[in-house]
Structure 1
Amino acid sequence: MTSSAGGAHVPGRPGGRTAAGATPQAGPGAPPEEAAPEEFDLEEAIHQVEAEEHEGRPPAAGLLGNLVVAAAVVVLGGAAVVGSLAFDAGSARSPEAGTWPLMVSVVIVVLGLGLVATARRTTDAERFGRTSWLVLAGLATMVAFVALIPVIGFEIPAALLAFVWLRFLGHEGWRTSIVTSLALVVAFYLIFVGALSVPIPHLF
């Protein structure tokens, strides 16, 4: 039943009509209206993830800290180059005891110079703190490793170096650290001493 004004008949409503063009209200048994889905803001999500990543992070080292670290890397690489030249550097066709240390030392110097060039733009380096002592401990073990090789060969220093790094710096298990350390020494020996005949100091 409709009126001349165009109102629709609504059961249960006094007068049985609504105003023309009005939407009838849902009854008690009508399903609830679904909320419109929210639009996904990718930029806001990225900012939120970045903020969560920076929470609790140590303060950045800054330009001076980056330059100090880069200079230390260059000096370390330079000292390694000098130490490598004390041995016979050899050549690519005929490598000698100082060939591989010299190559690694040159790479370290190049990486240090790269750190100097990018020191102003680097923001992910952390200021010196408690965890930085682990880096110094790793550096100290490397120095001991280099000093012991000419005296007792590379096998024992290499095994101890790998074990210390895995167990105490990397917090690996005892079994994993021991097995991996011995496996690395055996592989190194088979490749460089057995296959390539590189004249590095060794016990066996």
Structure 2
Amino acid sequence: MADAETEAALGEQPEEPRAGGRVQSVVAGAIPVLLGAVAAWLSFGLNIGSLTEPGPGLWPLIVAGLLVASGIGIIAVTAKTRRDTEAFTRGTIAVLAAAGGLAVYASLYEIVGFEVPTVLLLFAWLRFLSRESWLMSAILAVAVTAVAYALFIIGLNVPLPHLIAF
């Protein structure tokens, strides 16, 4: 915020983001459509159930539907308004890295339990995406995992897979 105020005081305008182009606009909408379609297909393998007796696949199906609708909305808005999306930047790489970390977390979660993947994911996000110090990243990752453990496993008795038993 101080940078924007400094630029305004100097009479400079903040830099406008680069336009990504029409192809990137379609890609930006197609990615959530494809992810949502795959997630919807996988959710049918989890037993959808009904609205009165939902199965484990109902919420993933709802989220998948929202992903598909969002992607279609992105494509429709960019086609109708003829406006481009922002160009992919270094920040895009950080988002992809965060999503990749979340995918690894989800794959390790059932195998290793709640604690270890959670500490590792939080540490990686804090250290490499937020650029916190090594010590602060370690302290926060362990502390937040401990609070989540206390809240969900001890307090709410949620049956999460975990290694540490109290």
Q: Does TM-score exceed 0.5, indicating one fold?
A: yes
Question: 1:127 is aligned with what amino acid?
Answer: A
CA distance in 1, matches of 2:50, 2:155: 17
Shift of 1:65: 1.3
CA distance in 2, matches of 1:95, 1:203: 29
Contact 1:88 1:99 in 2 (8 A): yes
User: TM-score normalised to the size of structure 2?
Assistant: 0.66
> Is the counterpart of residue 177 in structure 1 residue 137 in structure 2?
yes
* C-alpha distance after superposition, 1:91-147 (max 9, x if no partner): 999999x58973884486154444344334596843234443222222221111111
* RMSD of Structure 2 on Structure 1 (CA): 3.8
> Is the counterpart of residue 194 in structure 1 residue 154 in structure 2?
yes
Question: 2:33 is aligned with what amino acid?
Answer: V
Aligned residues: 154
Contact 1:61 1:125 in 2 (8 A): yes
Contact 2:45 2:57 in 1 (8 A): no
Contact 1:134 1:169 in 2 (8 A): yes
> Is the counterpart of residue 135 in structure 1 residue 95 in structure 2?
yes
Aligned counterpart, 1:52: 13
Shift of 1:203: 1.7
Match of 2:105 among 128, 145, 153: 145
* C-alpha distance after superposition, 1:135-194 (max 9, x if no partner): 222222111111111111121111111111111111112222112211221222222222
Question: 1:64 is aligned with what amino acid?
Answer: V
CA distance in 1, matches of 2:44, 2:159: 15
Q: Give me the identity figure in percent.
A: 31
Alpha carbons of 1:95 and 1:164: their partners in 2 closer, same or farther (altered >3 Å)?
A: farther
Deviates more, 1:193-202 or 1:117-126: 117-126
Question: 2:152 is aligned with what amino acid?
Answer: F
Question: 2:153 is aligned with what amino acid?
Answer: V
